[in-house]
Structure 1
């Protein structure tokens, strides 16, 4: 273990020089109009995106930590990184000794505001780029710092950009229309529904800053952020139409024709991306009613609107996007069928060749993408494949690295979390295999994870219940033996959009924007267990919420259930059947029969005999 830690330390980025440069800038009043005692570097971009373009990876640049979630606070004598349980291990390996890891979610770890309030000298100034801190985070942090005698300062010139030599350029990739055969609703139909919601809120202006909301509303897709089919833009929606703010190099005749055809009576204008601030200023200067922003919009934009005219809450587009229409539901199911074919081909190939050739975490992930690429309307992976062997599987969001290139063998557990972007849907599936002989503890942990996964999949629950109420059901079997996992149980999934989609989710954390679960939402079902330095286990399906048939209906509320749309076998070799109830055994056997019934004929029709034989082997019924 000591040798592993030493190896990790040698891979950590040396940040001493960068921190020194940044601290010099903090003490220069030229950029903030005052000297700064602390500087905050969030993970997100100006659109609060979870996954970001290379040009926006400022936190990773300054710290060395490359995970998708985390916030940096740098003072004159300290550098701290806040991140959650998915990334404790990864962050500790990637950061050098200049950094202190602040483990969010563990008892005794202060919030950033609490830490700053306690550790800064009286009257300190805390700087942050207002484009990167959302309204929902700015306001409470501002209040907390002021209570402690400090001040939150907007620094329009991002200090990381000044010290970042060779900073990547902002992407300018093509934008393409997505047809009604995939979207199911035109831009005008969506605009009309938005008008009703705006009227209910007395909002004369709706500002869309989230890239997936914009792509959904306009039925357009792009590739400015790897794996996410979105493009840098803003949209202002008014009572008569909308304005799209976009780099003019991305706008072409195909988009013009598409918007004219789909916008109908709603007028539209095109403006340059960088005109968003002056346009909002002009439109809200003498306005009546409200300007409606998501509370996750950047403070730089919400601050343009007089407070009496600012409405900051979940946009109607967020919920419209989350509740899929009939066309999108059909497409999502079809995408998962295609994905299952590719995964059966990959896992059968892997098991049959693991002894015959050197297959590594990296080459395995590449082979999987090749199998997916044979499927109709495949547009690319939905995220960087987590192809992990043994102890690497314990790093929850591990990414295989060509410099390590760990071989997949029969000696260790192999965890593969992957997904595809198809024009008709987005997939996300995790399967855990042992191609040799798993030990008793590994099988026990796997079985407890499976029990939680089945419990979640078979739940019946009231309509509009918040997702976090369901989280404990998936953990209960692990909890009984003193185990747990440090990530949520489920996240929303987009329809040829972001693989992680809000506003709903299932987590031990409170999800403030969760509108409550309803029919047509797609979620992941992914409990797991991770033993640091040894192995990781996760079983992940995507489920869609449907109406449940119940003998009673309390207060006419309506009850819901999940339908699993992922159709990939779960390795029965890893199961201790004596830990399963008969109902759980029956559920797994029925699920595996569905995998055979739906995927088997496709494999046979396409001549994929090896994959079909593997599917049949993996779906043999089990019993006690």
Structure 2
């Protein structure tokens, strides 16, 4: 299995660990310390050796930050985790607060006095994050102080897992669509135009995209942990653990890059600084430590976007074709799973863990699954209201009869990454469940069918997905959609559909479309497909060409939860057209015994 179902947090040990941290801070004359969920690459998902926040607090979500101080501690999470966090941490130790309603900086100003020092590990925070926090805290007379070594690592000691050293492999050109040489030329042209001498790349997915390599240093995300310096002219250098490179990969990379150990990176940056080179760092993804290394060498970094981010987000023709192929086989696996689930869901023998395992089995049987794309969210009844609930052997529930089952999952294939969520009725749904499901499905259709002009941003489209819910006095506390990589991270920027989505959407970008509704203590509903931004086209009778979306995911919605009276005629037409396409594409790929289920699941709704 690619997924394990053990509890990974340790809230019972948090008390002693916090006490040990406070003793260490006292020796360093620090009144508090920041503990983010991040590593030196600012990854969302972390290798076990970097899970400091989970080790200290017990919280296992993919985003959050704790502040530990002499007179109290707090854990800050966003709306996805506001129900999960209090169940995982000792709330007598950590006050759980939701951002952006609560801000860590304001909490710190209340807890620390003028002249106090708040410590942080500069490897784990971005440049822009520290610059903002420094400005805010300085006004209150609080000094933000970097540490050379993380006190948590000292306390963790020999029990801390070793860093990952998975061997890297090449991503074939047939799936990448562009060779590394062409990509390097594109990046170097960006640097020349900006009059920058070099860029330091710190994001693993950028580095893997640039050199057409993949790895396995992070669970479910096929990246390697490495750095790269790309000069405006000349050969780049890839800084990577030599144990990760086999001879065939070394030969493949030789025409494009030099290879050095990560320990050589500081010296290389210092030499660039001493030469007066303008070295670009992305303030939103590069850690503060690298800015400090350049400054110590006598030069201030120049700020600029990671030059790989946008070309990586805009998929090549080969990547788009790969995404379609991946979604075909993934849709067939999902159809087999949903047909199986309909047979067994009401038996009382299926729980959240066994359902997640069965879905992984169906994906494995495609013969092309490399990994799942994230830990499956399999949530029955009230667990569905916990947005990023992860079932464990301790928490698992049998699928509740006459309730809802939410399953959010995805696969990693060499030609694409998938992410799909369906909410399924187990037994007979209530009228209220059907009403809420209908509102979420209408919100989903609003995005899927949207037409919008060039220059539109994710924040411009986000209200489309909330309109039906807002009209009913409802909402959801997460973004509507995130970017998705090509056999890379299932969460990719800069594209996203949310209130914070300021990046313009461009043809070739892949995003999720996943509105939801969550009733605490009862059930959750989320419906997610991946969509591809399509080129602008003329609309009959219109005056301007409009972009749109191609829905990549091919999985039926649950007919038992659809009341056609809730929908406008054009919404039902979209739904029936979608189901007809699912049936046409998926039926040839599944066994004859599952085809009657698919035909029923995709039959026209009137």
TM exceeding 0.5:
yes
In angstroms, what is the RMSD of aligned CA positions? 1.9
Q: Which residue of 1 aligns with 2:291?
A: 302
Match of 1:136, SS?
Answer: helix
CA distance in 2, matches of 1:390, 1:496: 32
CA distance in 2, matches of 1:312, 1:616: 55
Query: Which of the numbers 447, 469, 478 marks the counterpart of 1:487?
Result: 478
- Deviation of the 1:14 alpha carbon: 4.1
Q: Which runs of 5+ in 1 are unaligned?
A: 1-7, 30-34
Match of 1:68, SS?
Answer: coil
CA distance in 2, matches of 1:548, 1:152: 48
Write out aligned runs for 1:65-144 (5 A).
65-96=59-90, 97-106=92-101, 109=102, 111-144=103-136
Match of 1:316, SS?
Answer: coil
Query: Which of the numbers 528, 544, 567 marks the counterpart of 1:580?
Result: 567
Query: Which of the numbers 519, 536, 540 marks the counterpart of 1:531?
Result: 519
Match of 2:222, SS?
Answer: coil
1:202 counterpart = 2:195 = yes
- Deviation of the 1:573 alpha carbon: 1.0
Write out aligned runs for 1:95-244 (5 A).
95-96=89-90, 97-106=92-101, 109=102, 111-165=103-157, 166-238=159-231, 239-244=233-238
Distance 1:11 1:179, change over 3 A: closer
Count of residue correspondences: 594
1:63 counterpart = 2:40 = no
Q: Is the 8 A contact 1:13 1:94 kept in 2?
A: no
1:570-592 Cα shifts (integer Å, max 9, x gaps): 01110121110000001000000
1:330 counterpart = 2:315 = no
CA distance in 1, matches of 2:396, 2:129: 40
Q: Is the 8 A contact 1:173 1:250 kept in 2?
A: yes
- Deviation of the 1:11 alpha carbon: 8.7
1:416 counterpart = 2:386 = no
Greater displacement, 70-79 / 609-618: 609-618
CA distance in 2, matches of 1:128, 1:552: 57
Query: Which of the numbers 611, 619, 623 marks the counterpart of 2:594?
Result: 611
Q: Which residue of 2 aligns with 1:571?
A: 558
Q: Which runs of 5+ in 2 are unaligned?
A: 1-6
Q: Is the 8 A contact 1:288 1:309 kept in 2?
A: no
Q: Is the 8 A contact 2:458 2:504 kept in 1?
A: yes
TM-score, structure 1 length as denominator?
0.92
1:598 counterpart = 2:585 = yes
Q: Which residue of 1 aligns with 2:370?
A: 379
TM-score, structure 2 length as denominator?
0.95
Q: Which residue of 1 aligns with 2:19?
A: 20
CA distance in 2, matches of 1:12, 1:42: 17
Write out aligned runs for 1:382-393 (5 A).
382-393=373-384
CA distance in 2, matches of 1:614, 1:429: 19
- Deviation of the 1:314 alpha carbon: 1.6
1:15-55 Cα shifts (integer Å, max 9, x gaps): 211111100000112xxxxx101100110110000011111
Q: Which residue of 2 aligns with 1:256?
A: 250
Match of 2:557, SS?
Answer: coil
Q: Is the 8 A contact 1:12 1:93 kept in 2?
A: no
1:452 counterpart = 2:452 = no
CA distance in 1, matches of 2:395, 2:458: 38
CA distance in 1, matches of 2:346, 2:427: 11
1:103-155 Cα shifts (integer Å, max 9, x gaps): 1133xx2x212221233111010100000010010111111111111111111
Q: Is the 8 A contact 1:208 1:294 kept in 2?
A: no
- Deviation of the 1:479 alpha carbon: 1.0
Q: Which residue of 2 aligns with 1:468?
A: 459
- Deviation of the 1:12 alpha carbon: 4.5
Q: Which residue of 1 aligns with 2:532?
A: 544
- Deviation of the 1:552 alpha carbon: 8.6
CA distance in 2, matches of 1:470, 1:540: 16
Distance 1:255 1:153, change over 3 A: same
Distance 1:70 1:553, change over 3 A: farther
CA distance in 1, matches of 2:172, 2:10: 46
Greater displacement, 318-327 / 164-173: 164-173
CA distance in 1, matches of 2:492, 2:419: 12
CA distance in 1, matches of 2:45, 2:442: 31
Distance 1:249 1:288, change over 3 A: closer
Match of 2:205, SS?
Answer: helix
Q: Which residue of 1 aligns with 2:396?
A: 405
CA distance in 2, matches of 1:288, 1:170: 32
CA distance in 1, matches of 2:346, 2:593: 16
CA distance in 2, matches of 1:256, 1:543: 36
CA distance in 1, matches of 2:333, 2:61: 27
Q: Is the 8 A contact 2:200 2:279 kept in 1?
A: no
